[in-house]
Structure 1
């Protein structure tokens, strides 16, 4: 029964993710997208901002500011719809740039690289220098990936058709992310035989533990 419920959950998650990607494409590829597509497409970022404001050390002013911004958006929906593509461009390029900076800023040492820190949370045993050198290279690879994604997003938005940029941002980006995760896992199996190996789910869980410990330390 547990296995059936897990399968059902995965199918539902896949359907929701697929629907979101479709709405995201519809909203970002049109100069005048339907309101429902924009609202659904912007929902994850909006919820993320609200959660971040709620968890902020300055909760009250942050939530007041967030409420003010949402109110301003609600009062200017027509203007937002006519510039929805710019909203999605800044969202996509901003996320890629932020992630690139987050990964790249930790490349100063093998031990301090972001993927090395995450791997230490995932492994019950200490990681040797060879493993940490590998995770440093993985951190570099993710840095280059996010930098390239941000650059391509900018070039396509500036010089290509809007539909082409929307296809890259809404469909190619999540597919390439999956390929990066899967490809790195296969490379790790060959590069580090006999070493601890973690699934994508374990990596995500370890990253959550790392961010929780970092936030607690701050």
Structure 2
């Protein structure tokens, strides 16, 4: 029964993700998107900001600032709908830039690289210098990926039809993220066949633990 529920949950998550991608594309590609599409498209970023504010050392002012921003958006929803593409550009390019900085700033040493820190959480046994050298390269690859994604987002928005940019931001970005995770997993099996194994799901869980520990430390 547990296995069946797990499969149903995965199917439900896949359906929700597909619906979100479709609505995100429709909202970001249309010059006059419906309000519900914009609200749903902005939901992940809104939830992330609220979560970060709640876990911040300055919880009360951060939450008040977020709530004030949401109120301002609600009072000016029509103006936002008229410039929805710019909102989606700021959301997409902003997230890519922030993630690129977060990964890139940890490249100072092999053991301090972000993927090295995640590996320490995911793997119980001590890791050697060779493993940290590999995870440093993975951190560099993610940094380059986010930098290229930011440049492509800005370039397509400025130079290409809006539908092309929306296709890249709403559809190709989640697909490329999945390919990055899957590709890294396959490369790791080839480069470090005797290394301690951990799955993509463990990687994501370890990243969440890392961010929670970092927020708690701040």
TM-score by shorter chain over 0.5: yes
Q: How much does 1:66 deviate?
A: 1.6
Q: Which residue of 2 aligns with 1:212?
A: 212
Q: How much does 1:216 deviate?
A: 2.9
CA distance in 2, matches of 1:133, 1:173: 27
Mapped contact 2:50–2:63 kept (Cα < 8 A): yes
Q: What TM-score results when the alignment is normalised by the length of structure 1? A: 0.97
Q: Does 1:98 align with 2:81?
A: no
CA distance in 2, matches of 1:64, 1:121: 33
- CA distance 1:216–1:67, change in 2 (3 Å): closer
For the residue of structure 1 that corresponds to 2:72, the secondary structure is helix
CA distance in 2, matches of 1:69, 1:159: 30
Gap runs ≥5 in structure 1:
none
CA distance in 2, matches of 1:215, 1:72: 27
- Deviation string, structure 1 residues 111-139 (Cα, Å, up to 9, x no partner): 10000010011111111111110000000
- Deviation string, structure 1 residues 170-211 (Cα, Å, up to 9, x no partner): 000000000000011011001001111211110011112222
Q: Which residue of 2 aligns with 1:165?
A: 165
Q: How much does 1:55 deviate?
A: 2.2
Q: Does 1:70 align with 2:66?
A: no
- CA distance 1:217–1:54, change in 2 (3 Å): closer
Q: How much does 1:42 deviate?
A: 0.7
Q: Which residue of 2 aligns with 1:196?
A: 196
Q: Which residue of 2 aligns with 1:88?
A: 88
CA distance in 2, matches of 1:4, 1:176: 29
CA distance in 1, matches of 2:210, 2:73: 34
Q: How much does 1:59 deviate?
A: 2.0
Q: How much does 1:22 deviate?
A: 0.5
Q: Which residue of 1 aligns with 2:124?
A: 124
When the two chains are superposed, the root-mean-square deviation of aligned CA atoms in Å is: 1.0
Q: How much does 1:65 deviate?
A: 1.7
Q: Does 1:33 align with 2:25?
A: no
Mapped contact 2:56–2:215 kept (Cα < 8 A): no
Q: How much does 1:215 deviate?
A: 2.6
Gap runs ≥5 in structure 2:
none
Q: Which residue of 2 aligns with 1:44?
A: 44
Q: What TM-score results when the alignment is normalised by the length of structure 2? A: 0.97
Q: Which residue of 1 aligns with 2:21?
A: 21
CA distance in 2, matches of 1:127, 1:189: 16
Q: Which residue of 2 aligns with 1:142?
A: 142
Counting matched residue pairs gives 218
